[in-house]
Structure 1
Amino acid sequence: MDIQQLNNDHGIAGQIVFIEGEGGLPFARVQSDKASALISVYAGQVLSFQPGHAAEDLLFLSNLAYYQPGKAIKGGAPVCWPWFGPDPEGSGRPAHGFVRNRMWEVAGTAITQEGAIRVTLALTDTSETHAIWPRAFVVRLEITISDSLNLELVTRNPGPQAFSITQAFHTYFGSSAESVGDIRFR
C-alpha cells in the first residue's frame, strides 16, 4: 500500500496523516485539539485513542504485539468478524474470524460538522477470503474521533447467498480507562 498515495487521496492537513508504522504496515495518525488516535489499515484496527482531557491512552497495546501479515495485532480495538470466539464449524479457522489478518482499504476520511475526525475503512470478499469463508460481503468500519471514540461496524451482503455472522470489538482497555460505566454500546 502506497503511503504517499494514501496521503494524497485521504490525508487531511494537520489532522490525518498516513505513515509507515511498525512492521511496515500503513497507519493513520489522527490529531486534533479533542483527541489523538492511531489506526492500522491492516486489520482495520484502532491501536491508540487518547482524548485531550486524558493523561494516558485509553487503549492497551502490548510492547510484544505482532506487526506482520497473517498475525493479529494484540491490543487496541480488534474487529472480530464474521464470528466471535472459536471457529463455529470447528474446521481450524482463526479464532474471532479473519478480518484481523487482512489489509483493509481506506474508503474515506472527513471532518464532521461537529469537528470530529472520521476515518472509514472497508473490506470486501476476495478469492483468498472465499477459501476461508465462501461468501460475498462488504464490511465497513466507521471510526469517529472526538472527545470520545465511536466505532460503527456495518456488514452488507451483496451476494445471493444468505449468511449469519457474529461480530464484536475485542477491545483492550488501558489502566487509564477508569470506569467501565463510561463505555457505551449502541
Structure 2
Amino acid sequence: MYKALYEKIIDELVNTGYVIIDDALDLELAHSLVDLAKIDVGFKLGGIAGGTKKKVDRNRRRNKIRWIDAKNKHEAEYLFFTNDLSEYLNRSLFLGLKYYESHFAIYEEGDFYEKHFDAFKNSKNRILTTVYYLNEEWSDENGGELVIYDENDNFLTKVIPRFNTLVLFLSDKFPHEVLPAKVKRYSIAGWFRIDKDEKS
C-alpha cells in the first residue's frame, strides 16, 4: 500500500538524512488518530533525559505525552505501518532496526521543546526519528514549527505541523526544536531503535 512512500523515504534518507512528506498516510487512519489524541486522557508531562532516568523540566520541555500501544485498533494500524516500514528499511538500508516506540504529544498554547538530539552519537539506541502531525486546518500563524539543524548547528528547514505530514530524520545527526505553539497542537513522535525492547 505504501511502497511509493517507502521508496521516497529511503531516497531522501540516503541523500540528506531527513525527509518531509505531505499527505503521507491513509486519510481515514489519520482522522482516527486525531480523534484519539483529542480525547486527552492518560497523558503525562514529557520528561528530559538525565542520567539513567527522565525528569520533568518545564524550562526545557513543555508538552504532554501518552505512549501508543496495539490495544486500540487505530493505534495498532499505525504501528502496523511503522513495522512494515521498519522491515522495508532493514531490507533496503540494512539498519538492523529491532523495534519502534511512539507516543502522542500535545502542546498547549505556549508549549515548546528546546533544541536537542534524540540520540547521542554511537549510543546504539534510537536510530531514526519520526514525527507525524495531526493538526487539521493549521495555519502558518499558529506557530509550533519543528526546526531542524545540521550537526554544526546550521539551520536546515522549518516544518509547519500540518495534518498528515510525516517527518523522518537520523536521530543522532540532526538537533531540532519545537517552537512555541499559539494554539493546541497534536502529533505522534516515534523512534526506530536497535537496542532491546524493555517493554516486551
TM-score (norm 2): 0.26
TM-score by length of 1: 0.27
